[in-house]
Amino acid sequence: MDTFLQTIYPIAKILSPIFFGFINFLFECYYFFQSRQIVPSPEDELLLLSVTDAAELIRQRKLTSTKLISAYISRIKLVNPIINAVVEDNFVEAIKEAKEVDKYLDSLDDSSNEYKMVGIKFKV
């Protein structure tokens, strides 16, 4: 068995770059002639906010969690057909939770500093 592997290894070492280089060339030729869709730039200013800025605006009641989530959902619906990143959407539940967070924040007093990132949802 050892002599077999000693014989095959140098051959495989030489042939594998040739084989994979050829396969790569075929894919490059195929994709060269395919039309590409370009992801449009975000138009909504809310999508350009950093997480900390968005959280601060939500805490200051200048922005609602529901409005922020709706902006992100609109962006996902626009971009996902191009990049195919979201496997399972949970938009209805996200809007529902955002409304609950907005109600919770309305119940807090203005001096409360707890839960600094409340109102910010993310999906992994």
pLDDT tens for the chain, 124 residues: list them.
Answer: 678 888 888 898 999 999 999 999 999 999 888 888 899 999 999 999 998 899 889 888 899 999 999 999 999 999 999 999 988 989 999 999 999 988 988 887 666 665 555 656 565 4
Domain assignment of residue 87, yes or no: yes
**Among 49, 51, 50, CA closest to 117:** 51
Q: For the whole model, what pTM was predicted?
A: 0.67
Q: 70 and 26 in one domain? A: no
Q: 97 and 58 in one domain? A: yes
Domain assignment of residue 114, yes or no: no
Q: 52 and 27 in one domain? A: no
Q: 79 and 49 in one domain? A: yes
Measured distance CA(93)–CA(7) in Å, rounded: 60
**CB within 8 A of 46, min separation 6: which ones?**
54, 63, 67, 68, 71, 72
Q: 55 and 27 in one domain? A: no
**Alpha carbon separation from 1 to 4, 5, 8, 85, 103 (Å, rounded):** 5, 6, 11, 46, 71
Q: 77 and 58 in one domain? A: yes
Domain assignment of residue 123, yes or no: no
Domain that holds residue 77: 45-107
Domain assignment of residue 52, yes or no: yes
Domain assignment of residue 118, yes or no: no
Domain count, the chain: 2
